[in-house]
Structure 1
Amino acid sequence: MSTYAELAEVKPAAAGKSRMANRAEPQAQTASQEKKAPSAQTRKSRSLDMSRVRCVSGVFDVLHKGGDCSVLGIILGGGAGSRLYPLTKQRAKPAVPLGANYRLIDIPVSNCINSGVTKVYCLTQFNSASLNRHLSQAYNSNIGGYNARGFVEVLAASQTPTRKNWFQGTADAVRQYLWLFEEAVRGGVEDYLILSGDHLYRMDYSEFVMAHRRAGADITVAALPCAPREASAFGLMKIDDQGRIVDFSEKPKGEALEKMKVDTTVLGLDAAAAAATPYIASMGIYVCKAAAMHDLLSEHFANSNDFGSDIIPGACSVGMHVQAHLFRGYWEDIGTIHAFYEANLGLTDSPHPKFSFYDKDAPIYTQSRFLPPCNVQSARVERSILGDGCVVEPGAQIVHSVIGLRSRIARDAVIQDSLLMGADYYEQSPELEQCATDATCIPIGVGGGSHLRKTIVDKNARIGPYCKIVNVDGVEEANMEEQGYVIRDGVIVIIKDSIIAGGSII
């Protein structure tokens, strides 16, 4: 493995300048270029490696507009997602459907693209087939324009002659691919942007990276201001009067919580906001100098496996500059069934949901499926979002719900405060004709006359006619997998591909 001193030797002199830094000095560059015209030989030698020089300096012309080769995006998508089970029974957590048309992984990938970070790796491990397929189908190989050489690429956990173990944690996942990220350093990467694949938020990472570089930090941690009532649910950080992190505490309570209070005016809050939110929590989003990451994972903490509990606090302990950067927008960790349910239904809030997919300046991208428009017949739809290709039959009612792509809502069905993930395919005419004459046949979707409330229906589920899925007994927790459903925090979850017989009451 090359040392960072060796890697630095192959960089041109312009390598230290970022796109952000170069914004401030275009006139100086122009004047310098006009002052002395290069010789023919110089022009020839420069043209041989011009694409690399542009990439290393972080400056993009028309051929490279919108990208920053000095930042490498690394999305962590390999966790088992046990708290989201059974939604993660057959898929990785970042592959869980979101907001009718999307998947969770689309959020960090889209944030990267919108921020000009066009070189993105996604590290995957558990149940990764659908996640890998979605990434390969949704994002082509020339993100940011052909000459920007951008990509969104899957790096799956694998065994090698020198490493026989799977990823042991978030930091270990990055450690196992340091050899590949070193190649990116040779191409001009200065910083690694470490992201989680299961958060819902919209963020301009270019501002995050600029703040990191202005502070001269080795690592910068995105931080949320927290009120006392919610602070104990997070990993908290303590900062000095320059915003530098000096201490960490994981979900503190009582006196330990009181000790983690900070003056958040240091990070830009006004006095009133700072008084209401005297704590800052880590979002699990980091930007780190490439050399610092190499030193931490290969030398200082070669046997530590987690960023949040090991590497970031450890960086402070060895004297690295770890800075906090305040994020003031909406952010949600989709870690539990209840959080996932609330985040999805929150998308229907009108006129200003906490998170919106209707932002022309920062769109959320996903796979192009070329589905037909929704077919809504004489039905009632209120405060709801319908994905592509849905069919809603006469008399159906959909209220405060999110309906996923290819969903079929039969005649007189009622969907209330619920999330339907839709289907992977349409059933064809022979199957539907059979179900029309065979009472035991249940097509994909929600049967006629059925009533769903506070329910998540996973993909390809078949709910028969006249079912009542409303948690009639007010149960908070139940494991009924053999019957095709579970209850978590009072939310009913119909498992993927399950069949709920007509007339069932849950």
Structure 2
Amino acid sequence: MIGKRVLGIVLAGAPGRRLTPLTAERAKGAVPFGGLYRLVDFTLSNLVNSGIRQICVLTQYKSHSLNRHLATAWELSSTPGDHVIPVPAQQWRGPGWQAGSADAIYQSLSLLDEHRPDLVVVCGADHVYRMDPLQMIDEHVARGAGVTISAIPMPRAQATDFGVLQAAADGHSVEAFLEKPASPPGRAGQPDEALVSMGVYVFDPDVLIEALHKDAADDESGHSVGGDVIPRLAREGAAHAYDFWQNEVPGACAGDRCYWRELGTIDSYFNAHMDLCATEPRFNMYNQDWPIVMRLSSQPPAKFVHEDGDRPGQAVNSVISTGVIVSGGLIRSSVLSPGVRIEGRSRVNRAVILNNACVHRHAVVENAILDKAVVVLPGAMVGVDKEHDRARGFTVSAGGVTVVSKGQVVAP
């Protein structure tokens, strides 16, 4: 890829309705993850670690929190041209707002005129994974592809919520691309598995521009990259697949190699956090050879106090962020974001607790997500009785995870 100018485009304008209520006041890419981070940080880190340092984040839905995060956490070096910048919907090509991910890029085609890249990498903002995009780019160039789609095998029964590739006999040419098919086609040699799109694409700029113009002129289109643009390019013979299992990331261990999760639902978001809590985590946030590179806010270290009787200040198999104080509570298999307070004789088990939430004395939080600044009053329980949670207006996911919205007070 020597000498190639690469522009990164991150699609971060979708409302993320399946993540409600976590997306009630923020864009999906701004949803906190892993204690210290936002979902968008993982995609941005992959791009920056690989040397792609001209990145535009296309925003629209409730973007204030995301824009603020990008401004404070993603200032790159002073090298001329390096940048991570939010690009809001600006109605350059008409009075309407972005009608889909393809339309978001179409309305921002001036970015390609400005940067004049040799290649364009397009990524979603709601995936947790490590990947070196340069290896994918090298394969894209070697094959002379119009678009290359990063793909990962998945059991067919789980593939119905994703874009599915149907590869030709050569294993990499894409004959068809099916968006969320009811019956995903099996892949060659593994009929019980489907080849699923990761939402990471490498485009030849001319191919991308032509495809977007065709899509914009199609009144029947949903104006989605995965739903409309990629299927069209597959039919035209311009699409190729990249096998994510070939990707070698520095510092990756056998246990977390090729980890990828699309966090589009409450259950997938919660389960990905539980992956972090394992003794050998499925996704290793401690890989210093391929770090999550955003600038962290200044907070004091976490603090644990008391060890007597039934109020030990203790956390087991958990991820505890800076600024957390555990004062006599017991925490198991949980992720706590900065500023969280856990008071005496409380119990937290399999929970995700976001910034500045407080769990008071004798309270119980179990199989639950507490959004920012939630207060669980003394003796209250969250996640223990799902019917009671629903009666109180809390969201309960299909997998039985209770979600308490930002700033709510939970009474006994």
Question: 1:478–1:488: 8 Å Cα contact kept in structure 2?
Answer: no
Mark the CA change 1:79 to 1:480 in structure 2 (over 3 Å): closer, same or farther: farther
**Structure 2 residue aligned with 1:312:** 230
Following superposition, the deviation at residue 320 of structure 1 comes to: 4.3
CA distance in 2, matches of 1:138, 1:313: 36
**Structure 1 residue aligned with 2:211:** 296
Count residues with an aligned counterpart.
389
For structure 1, the residue ranges without an aligned partner over 5 or more in a row are 1-17, 20-56, 59-69, 264-273, 424-443
Residue 339 (structure 2) pairs with residue 406 (structure 1): yes
Residue 109 (structure 2) pairs with residue 192 (structure 1): no
Residue 157 (structure 2) pairs with residue 229 (structure 1): yes
Mark the CA change 1:181 to 1:476 in structure 2 (over 3 Å): closer, same or farther: farther
Following superposition, the deviation at residue 492 of structure 1 comes to: 1.0
CA distance in 2, matches of 1:401, 1:91: 23
CA distance in 2, matches of 1:216, 1:112: 22
CA distance in 2, matches of 1:91, 1:299: 32
**Structure 1 residue aligned with 2:405:** 495
Residue 269 (structure 2) pairs with residue 340 (structure 1): yes
More helix by share: 1
Following superposition, the deviation at residue 422 of structure 1 comes to: 1.9
Q: Residue type of the partner of 1:122?
A: V
Secondary structure at the aligned position of 1:210 is classed as helix
Q: Residue type of the partner of 1:150?
A: D
Following superposition, the deviation at residue 250 of structure 1 comes to: 3.1
CA distance in 2, matches of 1:488, 1:309: 26
Q: In the TM superposition, what whole-angstrom CA distance separates every residue of 1:19-46 from its partner, at most 9, and x where no partner exists?
A: 1xxxxxxxxxxxxxxxxxxxxxxxxxxx
CA distance in 2, matches of 1:130, 1:383: 30
Mark the CA change 1:300 to 1:235 in structure 2 (over 3 Å): closer, same or farther: closer
Question: Within 5 Å, which residues of 2 pair with 1:184-333?
Answer: 184-185=115-116, 189-242=117-170, 243-253=172-182, 256-257=183-184, 260-263=185-188, 274-275=189-190, 278-299=193-214, 301-303=216-218, 304=221, 305-317=223-235, 319-328=236-245, 329-333=258-262
Normalised by the size of structure 1, how large is the TM-score? 0.74
Secondary structure at the aligned position of 2:69 is classed as helix
Q: In the TM superposition, what whole-angstrom CA distance separates every residue of 1:240-294 from its partner, at most 9, and x where no partner exists?
A: 12210011223334xx54xx2332xxxxxxxxxx537642111121110011111
Question: 2:164–2:180: 8 Å Cα contact kept in structure 1?
Answer: yes
CA distance in 2, matches of 1:77, 1:371: 27
Greater Rg by CA: 1
Following superposition, the deviation at residue 380 of structure 1 comes to: 1.8
Counterpart selection for 2:390 from 478, 483, 494: 478
Q: Residue type of the partner of 1:154?
A: P
More strand by share: 2
Question: Within 5 Å, which residues of 2 pair with 1:370-385?
Answer: 370-378=298-306, 379-385=313-319
Following superposition, the deviation at residue 148 of structure 1 comes to: 5.3
Question: 2:365–2:384: 8 Å Cα contact kept in structure 1?
Answer: no
Following superposition, the deviation at residue 494 of structure 1 comes to: 1.1
**Structure 2 residue aligned with 1:35:** none
Residue 37 (structure 2) pairs with residue 102 (structure 1): yes
CA distance in 1, matches of 2:300, 2:79: 34
**Structure 2 residue aligned with 1:83:** 18
Q: In the TM superposition, what whole-angstrom CA distance separates every residue of 1:466-489 from its partner, at most 9, and x where no partner exists?
A: 1122332x44993744xxx32222
Counterpart selection for 1:387 from 309, 312, 321: 321
Question: Within 5 Å, which residues of 2 pair with 1:160-179?
Answer: 160=92, 162-179=93-110
Secondary structure at the aligned position of 1:454 is classed as strand
Secondary structure at the aligned position of 1:275 is classed as coil
**Structure 2 residue aligned with 1:448:** 361
Q: Residue type of the partner of 1:381?
A: A
Normalised by the size of structure 2, how large is the TM-score? 0.90
CA distance in 2, matches of 1:468, 1:341: 19
Secondary structure at the aligned position of 1:354 is classed as coil
Residue 58 (structure 2) pairs with residue 123 (structure 1): yes
CA distance in 2, matches of 1:147, 1:491: 45
Which stretches of structure 1, 4 residues or longer, exceed 6 Å deviation after superposition? Answer: none
**Structure 2 residue aligned with 1:151:** 83
Mark the CA change 1:294 to 1:500 in structure 2 (over 3 Å): closer, same or farther: same
Mark the CA change 1:233 to 1:89 in structure 2 (over 3 Å): closer, same or farther: closer
**Structure 1 residue aligned with 2:375:** 462
Following superposition, the deviation at residue 235 of structure 1 comes to: 2.3
Question: 1:476–1:488: 8 Å Cα contact kept in structure 2?
Answer: no
CA distance in 2, matches of 1:325, 1:296: 20
**Structure 1 residue aligned with 2:351:** 418
